[in-house]
Chain A
Amino acid sequence: MSGMALPALAGGLLIGLSAVLMMAWLGRVAGISGIVWRAVSQPSLNFGGAWRIFFIAGLLSGTWLVHQLTERAFPESPESSTWIIVLAGLLVGFGARLGGGCTSGHGVCGIGRLSLRSLVATSVFVLAAMLTVFIMMAGR
């Protein structure tokens, strides 16, 4: 566990740096759910939204690059029934839109700018997720 503390802190630093540079360079919040939603719902490349597609391309490339450089194996996606995965995806997508953000938008950027609204949202979704895991574990 302590062996993972350093990469976790370094990774967190990179995520925070990404959020700060997005605002410093482009004046945008690095909220992934918002970026993805706009990228797929308004994919007009000639309308000033192209940066979102590039952000997502960077997200995938950065992940790939780390695994190439560290030679760390790809993590396995957990075994689960397809219906659970579909339900989880639907809830995450719907909830992120309804609540106005996800772990990056509320959790990192929102709390990072000391927004009470984002602190409340983050606390609520962490608690809801903990309760969900508790119920799932109990049901096994």
Chain B
Amino acid sequence: MNRWTECFLALICGGLFGAGLALSGMTDPANIIGFLDITGRWNPQLVFVLVAAVGTAIVGFRLLHTRSRPFFASKFHWPEASFIGGRLISGAVIFGIGWGLYGYCPGPALASLVYGQSHTVIFVVSMLAGMQLFQLLPGKRAPANLSEAQCTADRR
């Protein structure tokens, strides 16, 4: 599979994602905080976004089940993890607190870098530091030379 085809298709997908975030107002933290603030003037915008995105994904993924492999790659990398345990729950709680503190999750934070505001840069750098911090946990250090297969297995 041609690497440049792969990169071009990823660019298109990223573009659709970014366009969707900006169009739906999800790059504006005020809309996120407005949704999370259920005791204030509740803003349901994020619900519309999530319903449309998840609805499209459910239909699209279902259609893919008839295929044995992707159009431009050798295999589907569906996540294999299904275990619901302490790691998942505590990760979600920590993530949620950070999300509520400022109104950015990773996608909108990165997309907002084009707005050129220093707060966004500070957030993104801190987010990368947080990811690195996780890597320093005992037993979580990734081997230096991960194969592509291992990368996928590790992504859960």
Contact = CB atoms under 8 A, between A and B. Distances in A.
Dominant secondary structure of chain B at its interface with chain A = helix
Interface string B116-156: 11011011111111111111000000100010100100011
Pick the 9 closest A-B CB pairs, nearest first.
Answer: A99-B91, A58-B14, A11-B24, A112-B57, A93-B130, A89-B126, A16-B56, A128-B96, A12-B52
Interface in B61-95: 61, 64, 67, 69-79, 81-84, 87-95
Contacts of A41: 131-132, 135, 142
A60 B116 CA distance: 11
Interface residues of A, number: 115
Given A27-B73, A48-B3, A89-B127, A117 B16 contact: no
Interface of B: 3, 6-30, 33, 36-40, 43-46, 48-58, 60-61, 64, 67, 69-79, 81-84, 87-107, 109-117, 119-120, 122-135, 142, 146, 148, 151, 155-156
